[in-house]
Amino acid sequence: MTSRPQARSFFSRAAGVFATCAIAVSGLVGASCKPDKMPFKPDESRTFAGDITVSGAELNKGYQSYMRYCYACHGEKGDGKGPASYSLRPPPRDFTRGVFKFARMTSSDHYPNDADLVRIVKGGLHGTAMLPWDISEEELLRVLQFIKAFGPLNENGEQEYKNSRWEKIRKKTGKVYDVLPEWTPEADPWVGKEAEAVMRGKELYHLRAECVNCHPGFDTKENLYKMSVEANKRDPNTFSVMKSVRDDVYHSQAKKSDEYGVLIMPPDFTMDFVRSAHPETRVADLYRILSFGVYPVMPAWKGAGLSDSDIYALAHYVNSLIELRGKTAALELKDKLNNQKPFEFPKEEEAKPAETTPPADGEKKDGEATGDKKDEKKPEDAKKDEKKPEEKKPEEKKPEEKK
């Protein structure tokens, strides 16, 4: 098994960003040569999820700001295919789908709150070309309302700003959908007990939440098995004894996503950036991500099997892995996992046959060999004997007596 290559160096990343910026600038120059045609009539209006009504004039202002800041990557049509997009991995978000990975969505009927979208734009997404944007709140909100107007492209590949997901009407009420309420994270119960939180989180990560089904595992198979045995003894209602792991357990497992149209690669926390977790608020950010998931590729754990305390413990463990990134300790851990001794998970004990009472001395068991097996009959022979009529022997004639 080969180890995962190290993250790109600072200079290679800087070169990539410089190239992207150059393409973006050229795209903006090209965009500025286009006629200044506004997509909306000033006197029209649109009503989006959350019952937010926006005038055509405001949407046009949002369009202008979008073309200034977002066009190069996300494209004029909002489909994520701007002039700079072809050199970017991961690719820019396709706004025509109306789905956002880090906005607390847990189902297709959920619509992000504007506060969540502002957080994403202001904070950026680590490890991507989506950098933090320092623009005024007023201008940012105009951009966000305009983004909501993007609908699917028509058969000619044109954006008509029709059938936007954000304008979807509920059949029961005849009104647009609600947006998610604003959310403030609960207090961290592990403050001052971070080491304990990490140990608890490690058990949850590998045994209960089954993070290793998509993300890498971070201990040897033998150690994971032993940990599961101890956890099961201590808390059998929460932990089961580990019976196996997936074949490639020390590498991430790519997930197919029809909603985003691309494969999603879960991060290796010791090597990769975590998109929506920032150093100064990382534990709280991880708590949010773990609570609400990454729709639809990672499940939400809040109210679905883990307590808030356990979710925080999981966040502390993941944070401890992220802190290894870029350090020799991360490479040493990888080397340890790649060169561990072979280990087979013990198989479950087979059911033992029912015990029988031993025969008394001198008695022979039924069917015990005696050296003479002539009387033993197979079941088939017994049936034949039952069906076979008894043969009558001919009567012996007595010799006639001579008179």
Task: Give the closest residue to 99 by CA, choosing from 215, 265, 325, 261.
Answer: 261
pLDDT tens digits, one per residue of 188-232? 999 999 999 999 999 999 999 989 999 999 999 999 999 999 999
Q: Please state, as a whole number, how many other Cβ atoms lie within 10 Å of the Cβ of residue 80.
A: 20
- Per-residue model confidence (pLDDT) at position 154: 96
Determine whether 10 is exposed, middle or buried from the number of CB atoms within 10 Å of its CB (0-12, 13-18, 19+).
exposed
- Domain ranges in the chain are 10-167, 194-338
Backbone angles phi, psi at 76, to 5 degrees: -65, -30
Question: Cα(69)–Cα(28) distance, rounded to whole angstroms?
Answer: 9
- Per-residue model confidence (pLDDT) at position 185: 93
Question: Cα(219)–Cα(216) distance, rounded to whole angstroms?
Answer: 9
Q: Which two three-digit tokens encode residue 182? A: 């604003």
Q: Please check whether the two domains, 10-167 and 194-338, share a CATH topology.
A: yes
Render each residue's pLDDT in the chain as its tens digit; 403 residues: 444 444 444 444 444 544 555 544 444 444 445 556 899 999 999 999 999 999 999 999 999 999 999 999 999 999 999 999 999 988 899 999 988 888 898 877 889 999 999 999 999 998 899 999 999 999 999 999 999 999 999 999 999 999 999 999 999 999 999 999 999 999 999 999 999 999 999 999 999 998 999 999 999 999 999 999 999 999 999 999 999 999 999 999 998 877 677 788 999 999 999 999 999 999 999 999 999 988 888 889 998 889 999 999 999 999 999 999 999 999 999 999 999 999 999 987 644 455 555 555 555 445 444 444 444 444 455 444 444 455 554 555 444 444 3
Q: What topology does CATH give the domain 194-338? A: Cytochrome Bc1 Complex; Chain D, domain 2 (1.10.760)
Q: Which two three-digit tokens encode residue 104? A: 């607390």
- Per-residue model confidence (pLDDT) at position 232: 97
Question: Cα(158)–Cα(27) distance, rounded to whole angstroms?
Answer: 19
- Per-residue model confidence (pLDDT) at position 359: 56
Q: What topology does CATH give the domain 10-167? A: Cytochrome Bc1 Complex; Chain D, domain 2 (1.10.760)
- Per-residue model confidence (pLDDT) at position 108: 77
- Per-residue model confidence (pLDDT) at position 85: 94
How is residue 176 annotated by DSSP? B
Q: Is the dihedral of CA 351, 357, 362, 367 positive or negative?
A: negative
pTM of the model: 0.76
Determine whether 115 is exposed, middle or buried from the number of CB atoms within 10 Å of its CB (0-12, 13-18, 19+).
middle
